[in-house]
Amino acid sequence: MSHISFEEVWNLVMRIPEGSVATYGQIAHLVGHPHAARIVGFAMHAAPPQVPCHRVVSSKGGLSDAFQPFGCATHRFLLEIEHIPFTADGCVDLASCLWHPHFQQEGNS
């Protein structure tokens, strides 16, 4: 059984464009481990500074309390800088800004 590589996760998260977000589960699915959302969270916590971890949110658009120095407030601030919209309950409005990657299939240009 193969395992999920943090570097593979980080490389994918680096592709999320400014103004868009992805969910932990979405990233897990895209790297071929659809039940590994929690591992994606661990990868985000261990990511180097150049990885835009703030662009990854929960399946309901929830924010992470792991952001320093102020937890969810820091996470929200980083997203607001990129004009990410929020719903009235404080979650990211996934309907407006969820990333939809387009992967090229091998052999096609």
Q: Which one of the listed residues 53, 72, 91, 97 is annotated catalytic?
A: 53
Write the DSSP symbol of residue 98.
B
Cα 26 to Cα 15: distance, rounded to the nearest angstrom: 13
End-to-end Cα distance, the chain: 31
Catalytic residue check, 97: no
Within 8 A by CB and 6+ apart from 108, the residues are none
Which residues are annotated as catalytic?
53
